[in-house]
Chain A
Amino acid sequence: MLHSKSALAALLLGLSALALPAQAQDWPKRQITITVVTAAGGSPDTVGRLIASKLTERLGKPVVVENNTAGAGVTGTLNVVRGPADGHNLVVLTGGAPSQELLRPDQPYKLLKDLSMVTTLCAYPLVVAVAPSSPVQNFADLLALAKKQPGGVKFNMNAVGSLHHLLGEWIGIEGKVDVQSIAYRGAPPAFMDVTNGRLDAMIDTTTFIMPQVEQKQLRPLAISSPGPYALAPGVPTIKETLPAIEMMSWLGLAMAKDTPPAIVEKINTEVRAILELDDVKQKLAQMGNLPLPSSPQEMSVRIERELAQWKRVIDIKGIKAE
């Protein structure tokens, strides 16, 4: 019995091995569109265009980026969710996608249920930094200040539920201190308020923080990556002080749920090869990113883990988009 079962399995495997290339063979039939749901010029857009240009060379069909910021990104993602699952429409997901899903119960799709993940592309940590004149010398000092100062420490955040916001609140939870997240549209105005002392510390990407550090206009305290980060040498991790905290923001590609797995595999292979290219690595590094190739499965697992991690922060802090 055992024998015939494995024979059957082998037969099935063999069949599917034959079938796989057949499905993927006539792909791509036409132009492939990568939807980016943030404004052109931002890092998802730049990375999306970088990958698109390399894919165009490798697949022999044009791969183009389309920006669709309508509905705070929901519209563009929804177009991919509902579009034909024939492997010609991709969307760039960001590390903000899981928390947005938690805060928006009316979002008309669920990441893990309605999309099939292709691969993560790259990842970057957030850095906590202070003004050079600040009395705070290290991350532990900042927590001490938060304990002492009425109302805790003031951080910047981008918007409710943004990764800046959630990281700040998470630090509050794990450090058992009060934090106050103040909303800024982008890093420059927040930077001004941290340099003139209106904010105690600022949270932002290495791309923004590290050039300021070089010009001695900010002093980094800690970084959110799980270990030392190549693009922010010498900056200690938050984890060293608060072991529970590690986070990386990321970018990844996803497609409609019913896309044939063979096509998902094919793109995954191509994109992983692209992420190995030296010029790609170099361009990503310029944006503070390190490549993060993954299997579709690994990307799903990452999203699942982050959904749980952010749900905890959101629940404890009672964060909601009212």
Chain B
Amino acid sequence: MDLISNLSLGISVAFSLDNLLYCLIGALLGTLIGVLPGVGPVATIAMLLPITFTLPPTGALIMLAGIYYGAQYGGSTTAILVNIPGEGSSIVTCLDGHAMARQGRAGPALAIAALGSFFAGCVATIIVAVVSAPLVALAKAFGPAEYFSLMILGLVLTVVLARGSPVKAIAMILFGVLLSLVGTDIHTGAERLTFGQRWLSGGLDFVPLAMGVFGLAEIISNLEKGQAKGQERLADKVTGLMPTWADIKASFPAVLRGTGLGSVLGVLPGASSMIASFASYTLEKKIAKDPSRFGKGAIEGVAGPESANNAGAQTSFIPMLTLGIPSNSVMALMIGAMMVQGIMPGPMVMEKQPALFWGVVVSMWVGNAMLVIINLPLIGIWVRLLDVPYRYLFPSILLLCAIGVYSLNNEPTQVMMTAGAGVLGYLLLKLGCEPAPLLLGFVLGDMMEENLRRAMQMSRGDPSIFVTSPVSAILLAAAVVMIVVMVLPSVMRGREKLVED
């Protein structure tokens, strides 16, 4: 009964005219940046953070969430039609989706991608609604020791699931943790890592760092790559959208599996929706009667991953909304957005801001419905966007970023920091280091330290508090198991396969 009253509260919030508008803006923006290669949801959300400050908190979160799952839809459009993955999560969609398009079946591929995503989005929204309340109840019993262990597990999972070298992922996390320690320590009031610079004593700000490392770095590397030319355009060949009965029959089980897999992976820290789509593709290929069809236009290869990435995008909100712990860099940005609004992320959000919590949850369903409408009939328009030359796009993006960061605090040093973070992000890209673990380390770092020290203060310096609390002990044991599993050679190979497949 509680669930129903909560959902009806959510419906009343999400269906208010303002919030429908924010949701639509988010979904449109998301589709737009999903279609445009080289502008991802992380960069976009990072760049929009200062603007959200002027919006009401609920509207801001609804819009940012719309950008995130909207990008999952938009990305598949270009993947299928132009063979350019607009998003990391639609890389696998290129394989079979584009093959289908070449066979003149772009319409059914697009329809299945959109409908599969919609189905996954609906299911995942229900999962978010059902799972959140018990999780919040559990989280309330959490003390500093339990939180610390949970964050350790989260960071370990980030390493396990990160792309590329685990050593680099660990290095990035530690670097992020280190950056988070800059500034005045709340336990002792000591200034750390500030090198006597007053502008550092408040610590490094999240927005300039995120905007630089993700946004600016992406712009720099796009400029370096230059504009992709001579892409084959199949947009004009989209004729019938309707999939055949055989298509639907083949896709439906794949959609179900993708939704399930995506929902689980989305909750895990560090597992991006990209991992979800890769995992789903691998699964579909493995259980198919004739795996050789994959890569040549198998509709399951579109249906599964597209459902999985969208389900993952939705369920990744669960740990963020209930525990205040981000499971990926987009969620880290969401936490940043909440803090800018003066909302302390954590289990209190559901209780103190029920309208915000349930409004955002319901808006995800609304947004998904909007996206089906935005995407299917308007596909031609979206694809034409690829004709806008990047040299016109990036100066305006840069300018908006600079204004945004400055307006946050009226501090020129923040703009300099953003620029510095941009250079850092570019260097990291060149070194093959993922910026996502860096950002997660940054967000979790000082929370972890605070909880560690708080736990130690409460136990009067006795570290056994971390293992005598059963919850904390289980979480730490899980972290250890994950590390062991990761270093096992067979798993290493499997992971490489999963990530590189």
A189 within 8 A of B: yes
Convert A167-203 into 0s and 1s, putting 1 for each residue whose CB lies closer than 8 angstroms to a CB of B.
Answer: 0000000000000101111111101110110100000
Residue of B198, B342, B458 touching A42 (CB-CB under 8 A):
B342
Whole-angstrom CA separation of A138 from B347 in the bound complex: 29
Assess A183 versus B450: contact at CB under 8 Å? Given A160-B187, A196-B141, A322-B188: yes
B222 within 8 A of A: no
A2 within 8 A of B: no
Name B143's closest neighbour in chain A (CB-CB).
A198
Tell me which residues across on chain B come within 8 A of A184, comparing CB atoms: 450, 454
Tell me which residues across on chain A come within 8 A of B186, comparing CB atoms: 158-160, 183, 185
By the criterion CB–CB under 8 Å, are A192 and B457 in contact? no
Q: How many residues of A contact B (CB 8 A)?
A: 39
Tell me which residues across on chain B come within 8 A of A189, comparing CB atoms: 344, 346
Q: How many A-B residue pairs have CB under 8 A?
A: 93
B456 to chain A, nearest CB (A): 10
Assess A192 versus B409: contact at CB under 8 Å? Given A71-B198, A158-B186: no
Tell me which residues across on chain B come within 8 A of A192, comparing CB atoms: 140, 142, 346-348
Residue of B187, B342, B411, B454 touching A39 (CB-CB under 8 A):
B342
B477 to chain A, nearest CB (A): 22
B395 within 8 A of A: no
Assess A40 versus B53: contact at CB under 8 Å? Given A70-B198, A72-B184, A188-B352: yes
B192 to chain A, nearest CB (A): 10
Tell me which residues across on chain A come within 8 A of B458, comparing CB atoms: 154, 182, 198
A27 to chain B, nearest CB (A): 23
By the criterion CB–CB under 8 Å, are B346 and A71 in contact? no
Whole-angstrom CA separation of A181 from B347 in the bound complex: 23
Tell me which residues across on chain B come within 8 A of A198, comparing CB atoms: 143-144, 458
A178 to chain B, nearest CB (A): 12
B202 within 8 A of A: yes
A180 to chain B, nearest CB (A): 7
Whole-angstrom CA separation of A186 from B339 in the bound complex: 11
B484 within 8 A of A: no
Interface size class of B (residues with CB under 8 A): 35 or more
Tell me which residues across on chain A come within 8 A of B199, comparing CB atoms: 70-71, 75
Contacting B at CB under 8 A, from A40-92, are: 40-42, 66-75
Contacting A at CB under 8 A, from B189-227, are: 189-191, 198-202
Tell me which residues across on chain A come within 8 A of B187, comparing CB atoms: 160, 183
A54 to chain B, nearest CB (A): 21
B239 within 8 A of A: no
By the criterion CB–CB under 8 Å, are A67 and B188 in contact? no
Whole-angstrom CA separation of A180 from B187 in the bound complex: 12
Contacting B at CB under 8 A, from A299-322, are: 320-322
By the criterion CB–CB under 8 Å, are B189 and A320 in contact? yes
B341 within 8 A of A: yes
Convert B138-153 into 0s and 1s, putting 1 for each residue whose CB lies closer than 8 angstroms to a CB of A.
Answer: 0011111000000000
Residue of A161, A183, A322 touching B454 (CB-CB under 8 A):
A183
Contacting A at CB under 8 A, from B165-189, are: 184, 186-189
Name A71's closest neighbour in chain B (CB-CB).
B198
Residue of A40, A68, A180, A193 touching B144 (CB-CB under 8 A):
A193
A151 within 8 A of B: yes
Assess A321 versus B344: contact at CB under 8 Å? Given A72-B201, A74-B198, A196-B140: no
A103 within 8 A of B: yes
By the criterion CB–CB under 8 Å, are A70 and B409 in contact? yes
Convert A242-270 into 0s and 1s, putting 1 for each residue whose CB lies closer than 8 angstroms to a CB of B.
Answer: 00000000000000000000000000000
Tell me which residues across on chain A come within 8 A of B142, comparing CB atoms: 192
B460 within 8 A of A: yes
By the criterion CB–CB under 8 Å, are B140 and A70 in contact? no
B410 within 8 A of A: yes
Name B454's closest neighbour in chain A (CB-CB).
A182
B413 within 8 A of A: yes
Convert A128-161 into 0s and 1s, putting 1 for each residue whose CB lies closer than 8 angstroms to a CB of B.
Answer: 0000000000000000000000010010001111
By the criterion CB–CB under 8 Å, are B198 and A103 in contact? no
Tell me which residues across on chain A come within 8 A of B53, comparing CB atoms: 40
Assess A321 versus B144: contact at CB under 8 Å? Given A159-B184, A188-B344, A189-B346: no
Tell me which residues across on chain B come within 8 A of A183, comparing CB atoms: 186-187, 450, 453-454
A184 to chain B, nearest CB (A): 7
By the criterion CB–CB under 8 Å, are A41 and B189 in contact? no
Tell me which residues across on chain A come within 8 A of B454, comparing CB atoms: 182-184
Whole-angstrom CA separation of A70 from B140 in the bound complex: 33
Whole-angstrom CA separation of A69 from B199 in the bound complex: 9
Assess A160 versus B344: contact at CB under 8 Å? Given A74-B201, A183-B450: no
Among A70, A75, A161, residue most surrounded by chain B Cβ atoms (within 10 Å): A70
Whole-angstrom CA separation of A229 from B188 in the bound complex: 32
Contacting B at CB under 8 A, from A10-46, are: 39-42
Tell me which residues across on chain A come within 8 A of B143, comparing CB atoms: 193, 196, 198
A316 to chain B, nearest CB (A): 17
Could you list 26 examples of A-B contacts with CB < 8 Å? A39-B342, A41-B342, A68-B410, A68-B411, A70-B199, A70-B409, A70-B413, A71-B200, A73-B202, A74-B201, A151-B460, A159-B189, A160-B187, A160-B188, A183-B186, A184-B454, A185-B186, A185-B450, A188-B352, A191-B348, A192-B142, A196-B140, A198-B144, A320-B189, A321-B190, A322-B190
A183-B450, A183-B453, A195-B140 are known contacts; what are 14 more A-B pairs with Cβ within 8 Å? A39-B340, A67-B410, A68-B409, A68-B411, A70-B409, A72-B184, A75-B411, A159-B184, A160-B187, A160-B188, A160-B189, A185-B186, A185-B450, A188-B348
**4 smallest beta-carbon distances between A and B, as pairs:** A321-B189, A160-B189, A41-B342, A71-B198
